[in-house]
Structures are given as structure tokens and as C-alpha cells.
Amino acid sequence: MEEKTIKLGFAVPQFGPDAGPDALLEVAQLAEELGYDSLWVIERLLYPLNPKAPYPATADGSLPVAYRRSLDPLAILAYLAAATSRVRIGTSIINLPYHNPVLLARELTTIDVLSDGRLDIGFGVGWSPDEFEAVGVTMRDRGRRAEEALQVLEAIWRDNPVEFEGRYFRVPESFFDLKPVQKPRPPIYMAAYTPVTMNRVARLADGWIPSGVPLGAMEQMFAAIKQGAAEAGRDPNGLKLIVGANVAFHSEPLGDDRQIFAGSAEQIEEDIVATRRLGAEEIIFNALFSPDVDSTEDLLLHMEQLRTMARQSEHVFESHT
């Protein structure tokens, strides 16, 4: 595979007792100093006492305790827009069915304007029955609702005046003079893990943003998405692979059944190299829930460590190409 420089992103500290302006500013400033390409937020609405569904990102299905205190992701992006000048800022991910698309269009467009065109958008459809109940939306038609919401967003970003009549949303003919700096709109990536959602990526998104998927499965799934894009009349080579890396540092190597980006520093670096070989456009490091992270200081140390590991992986990658 042709060598390419992989971009690096980092998930900001929006959860837990340290989450606040000081921690966000420290991470943002260090990201620009170290040469990171982007900063990312996550959406988590509830920490239910008796969850109706297991959390998909942990082996036992339990939610990280830090989720009990959660800053709003879009408000954070507005803050980061003012706190930075170079790095891109993005959502990885926000759940599209939770949001009214007209209000969301204004929020996202404002962030793109305030950041002078540095916004990346990652969408998902959600998995938590408790959160759907809290926002008053049924899970049953979340996919159809998300697709229609995306149509509303596209119309608001494209047209002026805008008029929309759908199953879930209606926009009376109205002027929307506020448009994104990025034309025709900010990049849209989608999380997807089933054939239906992967088909949605193939038809509607600019790329795929998986997290926690083993590399072999990731390669096969991205190939299927690209095939679906070709069948939909789109250029499959235009789709980007943005990999979410849930980093978990351990003092000793883990066994063969370890999750991707979990283990010793050497094992995590091996995963970085393998992700580069897969042709990923970007890796988003999320070290917020690494077992050795107890403070913002720990997170900053991992920011530096992961940036160094990524530089070292370039030499490893080059020696095998």
C-alpha cells in the first residue's frame, strides 16, 4: 500500500471530576504544541442506575464511572474553537436521532463559523434505550429518523430559502443565511457496525469512523462499505477511514484476546502501525478511560507518549514498505 502520513486526533477531557475549562484548555494547548491534527468530543447523556442495555465498549457492559459527570459536546466545541487556532475539532460521535436537525444545523454551523471552517462531524444512531427514553424518541425507527435528519441538515446547508416536508420533520419555507465556512458543508463521518448502517455510510457519508473493531474485521467492513459506495454510484476511494482508538495502557503485555489499542506500550504501537497499513486517514486516541489515567496530568503525559509512539510508528511503517 502506498505510504501516507496518518493524521492524529485526541479525545478531550469532558467527563469526570476534572472536566472543565482548565483541563480542556491544557489539552487544547498541548495538542497544538505537539502537532496533533484534531480534537474530539463524545456524546453520553445518561448514567442509568439500572441500564436496559449493556455498554458496548467494555467487556462486562458497565459504563465508566466518569460518565456520571458529562459536559455537553457541542458547547465544548465552541469553547475549543476559541481556545485553538490550528487543530480541527470534531464529534466522535453525536447521536443524530437525539437532536432536532434544525437546531442542530444552527449549532454545527455556528461552530464551523467560529472555528473558521475547522469542524468535522461524526454521527451515530445511538444504542442506549435509556437515553432514547430520556429524549422522547423511539429506538425503533432511529435509522429512518437519522436519515431524514441528515436530509434536513443538507437542505439547510445547501439551500436558501429552505423548505422541507418529511415524516419526522417539517421546515416551513424560511431563509437560512448562516452557512458553513466549509463548502458545501463540513465533512460528515458515520459510526456503523451492521450491514444497514454500513450501507448508510456508503450512500451518505464522507467516511467511516469505527471504534473497538479488530483490524481484520475493520478491513473487511471498510471494503464492504467501499463496495456499497461504488454500487451507489459514488467514488469508493473518496471515503475516508477515521479510526477511534480506545487506548488502555497496561504495565505488562496482554494476551492474544486483547482489545485493539489495549496492552503494553509496545502492543499499542503495533496497533498504530497496523492501522497505518490499513490506509486509515486518521487515528483518534481516546485515553480518557485508560486504567492508569486518574487526572488531567496523566492524560497530558499520554498525549505526549502517544504522539511519540506515532512518530516511531512512521519509521516502522517505512521499513516494511
Tens digits of per-residue pLDDT, 160-210?
Answer: 999 999 999 999 999 999 999 999 999 999 999 999 999 999 999 999 999
Q: What would the mean pLDDT of 15-28 be, rounded to a whole number?
A: 97
Give the whole-angstrom CA distance, residue 115 versus residue 82.
Answer: 7
Q: Would you put residue 302 in left (φ > 0), alpha (ψ -120 to 50) or beta?
A: alpha
Question: In this structure, which CATH number among 3.30.420.40, 3.60.15.10, 1.10.10.60, 3.20.20.30 belongs to the domain 7-319?
Answer: 3.20.20.30
The structure's pTM equals 0.94
Percent of the chain's residues with pLDDT above 90 = 93
**Type of residue numbered 24:** L
Q: Which long-range contacts (CB under 8 A, 24 or more apart) does 315-318 make?
A: 316/269, 316/273, 317/3, 317/273, 317/276, 317/277, 318/3
Over residues 24-52, the pLDDT tens digits come to 999 999 999 999 999 999 999 999 999 99
| Model confidence at 1: pLDDT above 50 | no
| Model confidence at 2: pLDDT above 50 | no
Answer whether 266's CB lies under 8 Å from 312's CB.
no
Answer whether 242's CB lies under 8 Å from 208's CB.
yes
What is the per-residue pLDDT for 312? 84
What is the per-residue pLDDT for 35? 96
Over residues 111-160, the pLDDT tens digits come to 999 999 999 999 999 999 999 999 999 999 999 999 999 999 999 999 99
Q: Is the dihedral of CA 77, 79, 80, 81 positive or negative?
A: positive
Domain boundaries defined on the chain: 7-319
Q: What would the mean pLDDT of 57-84 be, rounded to a whole number?
A: 94
